[in-house]
Amino acid sequence: MDRNRPSGLLQAHTRENTGLLLYPDGSCRASLCCRLPPPTTTSARTEPGQRSSCSGNQVFQPGRINMLDQIHLLAAVTVLGVLEQAYFLLQVIYARRRFGISPPNISGPPEFERIFRAQVNSSEYFPIFVALLWQAGLFFHQGLAAALGLLYLYSRYCYFVGYRASSSERLAPIYFSTGVLWILVAASALGLLHFFLSHYTGLNVLRLLAA
């Protein structure tokens, strides 16, 4: 009998969630499938030419689901941010048609220049916002980063609407959005510091702060 294969007289057991087969010699080896199906009363045999249900494409990957659980809020906020940027861009296009200003001209009536400036300013800060959003969400806390991201997007919308109406009405929203960015900076820095110290030195910064 080939000792490298499980014996037909002995049951091959699988440790739960480990995908290990128990061989007759007492050794455990990794299985291609993550779990074996539970024993049934009728044994199903694979006919010649029939594909086995235990194929590489059907291996369950729990790590992928766990990863999506850690980033789904960040992804949703990012999509909202992209849609907001698209809305600002459309407002500039409508303003060009309204005031008859063709690209690449960027000067015109004060109403157009305010709309154009609000869109440009928002697009300049958007990459900074996205980078800080994902760093804070991955290394600090996803829920907190997503909530701060929503606040930032709302303040940017208020900034655009206020700037379109008057230059003075842009100040309060821009100050608020800048404050949100600084909070994201602090969360990102603290999360990265905790990761590097815990990974390389074993020091838990968050526990020290909580104590």
**What whole-number distance in Å separates Cα of residue 184 and Cα of residue 148?**
7
Q: If you average pLDDT over every residue of the chain, what do you get?
A: 79
User: Picking from 23-32, 82-91, 118-127, which range would have the lowest pLDDT averaged per residue?
Assistant: 23-32
Task: Domain 64-210: give its CATH architecture.
Answer: Up-down Bundle (1.20)
**What whole-number distance in Å separates Cα of residue 70 and Cα of residue 164?**
37
Helix (H, G, I), strand (E, B) or coil at 28: strand
Q: How many helices (H) and strands (E) does the chain have?
A: 5, 2
How far from chain centre, in Å, is Cα 43? 44
Q: What is the pLDDT of residue 203?
A: 83
CA distances from 173 to 84, 130, 136, 161, 178 (A): 15, 18, 22, 10, 9
Domain residue ranges in the chain: 1-41, 64-210
Q: What is the mean pLDDT of residues 141-164?
A: 97
**What whole-number distance in Å separates Cα of residue 95 and Cα of residue 110?**
11
User: Picking from 61-70, 98-107, 131-140, which range would have the lowest pLDDT averaged per residue?
Assistant: 61-70
**What whole-number distance in Å separates Cα of residue 96 and Cα of residue 109?**
10
Please say if the pLDDT value at position 110 is more than 80. Answer: yes
**What whole-number distance in Å separates Cα of residue 60 and Cα of residue 92?**
48
Active-site amino acid positions? 97, 170
Position 101: which residue type?
A: I
Binning the chain into helix, strand and coil, the percentages to the nearest 5 are 65, 5, 35
Q: What is the pLDDT of residue 70?
A: 85
Higher pLDDT, 105 or 180: 180
